[in-house]
Amino acid sequence: MQNHFDTIVIGGGPSGMMAAISSSFYGQKTLLLEKNKRLGKKLAGTGGGRCNVTNNGTLDDLMAGIPGNGRFLYSVFSQFDNHDIISFFTDNGVQLKVEDHGRVFPATDKSRTIIEALEKKIAQLGGTVQINTEIVSVKKTGETFTVKSTDSIWTCDKLIVTTGGKSYPSTGSTGFGHEIARHFRHTVTDLEAAESPLLTDFPHKALQGISLDDVTLRCGAHTITHDLLFTHFGLSGPAALRLSSFVKGGETIYLDFLPQMDQEEVAAFLDSKREKSLKNSLKILLPERLADFIAQPFPEKTKQLSPKEKEALLSQMKALPIPVTGKMSLAKSFVTKGGVSLKEINPKTLESKLVPGLCFAGEVLDINAHTGGFNITAALCTGWVAGSSHY
Ligand SMILES: Cc1cc2nc3c(=O)[nH]c(=O)nc-3n(C[C@H](O)[C@H](O)[C@H](O)COP(=O)(O)OP(=O)(O)OC[C@H]3O[C@@H](n4cnc5c(N)ncnc54)[C@H](O)[C@@H]3O)c2cc1C
């Protein structure tokens, strides 16, 4: 039968592409179905369009980077981990480079390099890819799954669902996989926004576009030191995204621009620049536009600062209060928290405990991670494992 496959994978993101690769590698006649006109649309937008393909940290780093049920992945990572991702790409001719915080990118700085390598590997291993194909229904009769788009129908023995979460639906991840899960009586945990940019009551216009390396954001007892970006609506970048899981809106958070210096060191620095203009002194420590913004309400010369003004300036630099009004919605957050309940999934094979032959991988599962390559690592590794087990 021409329309019968050993394995069908629904959803051509990183997880689905890797599932199609491992399934084909293990000799299964495999079909990957994607509704967009190209594979990996969301993946292409990661890392500012450069594709943050994985993170080169240790297993402990991976666990710290995957706060949403990372421990479920121990068995997956024992079969295929971030170092296997790195080997996979280098073995397939893609040169990679490691940047700050262990983030791994293609040396070309182009997402296409990664996506083309995945596409090429699927083709090389004899897998079939069909784009522009939205799946509208799935059912199982006896041992066989039937998968339907609006104008085609396929059957398979094994079905892998890699349709992603519900964030950035314009990239194709609209939650269809959760519908498949519910159809097969799986539990889908509550879906929430994760890694959400923060909306703030702050004169962000003046600071819009400024990015800062390794600053500290604090909310109550939670502190995050990472990169930060001022946007037209508030704060983004890894520090804000990570803090978002501890913030609802209505609280004040505090920004330390210079976490590597304590308050006394900053005060001593200012004293050493007494004869200079305040703006020029601050520019040594901070980006120019930020230095201008902070210096604005204060006297021109550093030595003209009264003790009270100096104290106010120090607190601006070490603990700038920023009122948070809310955070971006699920659709505008980077990651979806929640998904197919892990209690009903075998952690060794990613097969459903309820429906033999049905597997879930990637963000459709109840797993969420920080940006920085951790979600993509989870997607690629679960994809590999889901594709590699045969019954
Ligand atoms: C702007 C942005 C930046 C990000 N940056 C990072 C980062 O730096 N590091 C990091 O680790 N993570 C990052 N992420 C998160 C990461 O991209 C995702 O976690 C990852 O892509 C999930 O992979 P996936 O294969 O599970 O799902 P997806 O990449 O969402 O792929 C799912 C695919 O399934 C297809 N599909 C859905 N329904 C159907 C259907 N009915 N029929 C056919 N096809 C269907 C979709 O079109 C889509 O192509 C970022 C996310 C965004 C939005």
Residue closest by Cα to atom 27 of ligand 1: 164
CB distance 35 to ligand 1 below 6 Å: yes
Residues 166-183, mean pLDDT to the nearest whole number:
98
What pLDDT is attached to residue 267? 95
CB distance 162 to ligand 1 below 6 Å: yes
pLDDT at 2 over 90: no
What pLDDT is attached to residue 202? 80
Residues 145-156, mean pLDDT to the nearest whole number:
97
Cα angle value 202/207/211 (rounded, 5°): 115
CB distance 46 to ligand 1 below 6 Å: yes
What pLDDT is attached to residue 206? 85
pLDDT at 390 over 70: no
Spacing, Cα 43 to ligand 1 middle (Å): 6
Say yes or no: domain 198-327 is CATH 3.40.190.10: no
CB distance 65 to ligand 1 below 6 Å: no
Residue closest by Cα to atom 45 of ligand 1: 11
Q: Please write the tens of the pLDDT for every residue from 334-362.
A: 999 999 999 999 999 999 999 999 999 99
CB distance 41 to ligand 1 below 6 Å: yes
pLDDT at 1 over 70: no
Alpha helices in the chain (DSSP H): 14-25, 41-44, 46-49, 59-65, 74-79, 82-91, 111-124, 176-183, 204-207, 238-243, 263-272, 278-285, 288-295, 307-318, 374-388
Residue closest by Cα to atom 5 of ligand 1: 46
Adjacent-strand bridge partners of 8: 31, 159
For a substitution probing ligand 1, which of 152, 154, 375 has the most ligand atoms within 8 Å of its CB?
375
Q: Which atom of ligand 1 is nearest to the CA of 55?
A: 11
Q: Where are the domains of the chain?
A: 4-192+332-388, 198-327
CB distance 158 to ligand 1 below 6 Å: no
Spacing, Cα 41 to ligand 1 middle (Å): 7
pLDDT at 389 over 90: no
pLDDT at 62 over 90: yes
Q: Please write the tens of the pLDDT for every residue from 79-116.
A: 999 999 999 999 999 999 999 999 999 999 999 999 99
Residues 63-89, mean pLDDT to the nearest whole number:
98
pLDDT at 203 over 90: no
Residues 319-333, mean pLDDT to the nearest whole number:
96
Spacing, Cα 56 to ligand 1 middle (Å): 20
Residue closest by Cα to atom 17 of ligand 1: 43
CB distance 89 to ligand 1 below 6 Å: no
Q: Please write the tens of the pLDDT for every residue from 238-275.
A: 999 999 989 999 999 999 999 999 999 999 999 999 88
CB distance 55 to ligand 1 below 6 Å: no
Q: Which atom of ligand 1 is nearest to the CA of 149?
A: 42
Compute the mean pLDDT over every residue in the chain, rounded to the nearest whole number.
96
Adjacent-strand bridge partners of 42: none
CB distance 375 to ligand 1 below 6 Å: yes
Spacing, Cα 379 to ligand 1 middle (Å): 9
pLDDT at 205 over 90: no
What pLDDT is attached to residue 204? 74
Local structure of residue 351 (DSSP, 8 states): B
What pLDDT is attached to residue 391? 55
Minimal CA–CA distance to 143: which of 375, 303, 336, 355? 355
CB distance 45 to ligand 1 below 6 Å: yes
Q: Which atom of ligand 1 is nearest to the CA of 136?
A: 41
CB distance 168 to ligand 1 below 6 Å: yes
Q: Which atom of ligand 1 is nearest to the CA of 36?
A: 47
Please state the CATH superfamily assignment of the domain spanning residues 4-192+332-388 in this structure: FAD/NAD(P)-binding domain (3.50.50.60)
Range 225-230 contact pairs with CB under 8 angstroms and sequence separation of 24 or more:
225/259, 226/101, 227/100, 228/255, 230/204
CB distance 202 to ligand 1 below 6 Å: no
Distance, CA of 178 to CA of 340 (rounded, Å): 7
Distance, CA of 130 to CA of 34 (rounded, Å): 6
